Amino acid sequence: MKHEPRGSEGRFAYEGLDRVIHERARLSVLTCLITNPKGLIFNDLKQLCSLTDGNLSRHLSVLEAEHMVEITKGHEQNRPQTFCRITKAGRERFLEYLSTLEQVVADAAKVSKDEPSPRLMRGLTPSKA
């Protein structure tokens, strides 16, 4: 078994995995908004993330409180409309999160091809997973 060198305490702690972003629905919302920099109307965002009105509202509230998104309410053709956009601070924070996530993937990919995966060590084949 390979041991990490001394002085590498916390090497795999991944402090940059921001708990606010790491929740699946908020990760979806931020990914939608970062790929649509001009923003999206509430209903489009709801549909793209497969969320209910209430779920999306709750997650947007959390992100707004963290200054990661801005929400503006207006009217179009006399109908109320909520518009959501990622903020500059939200974009920076999200990109930092993605950088940490990329490090997680890179670290996991370093597994030697000579070492069997835990799944194979238990006698399971990938097709039985």
Cα distance between residue 36 and residue 50, in whole Å: 17
pLDDT of residue 113: 46
pTM as predicted: 0.75
Checking if the pLDDT of 22 tops 80, the result is: yes
Tokens of 47: 């549909």
Predicted confidence (pLDDT) per residue in 104-122, tens digit: 998 888 874 446 666 555 5
Tell me the HSE value of 101 on the side-chain side, using a 13 A CA sphere: 12
Tokens of 35: 């790929």
What is the enclosing helix (H) or strand (E) of 28? helix 24-35
| Predicted confidence band of residue 87 (pLDDT cuts 50, 70, 90) | very high
| Predicted confidence band of residue 129 (pLDDT cuts 50, 70, 90) | very low
* Phi, psi for residue 95 in degrees, rounded to 5: -65, -35
Domains in the chain, CATH or no CATH each: 19-107 (1.10.10.10)
- Determine the average pLDDT of the residues in 53-81: 95
Q: How many other C-beta atoms can be found within 10 angstroms of the C-beta atom of residue 49?
A: 21
Tokens of 97: 């999160």
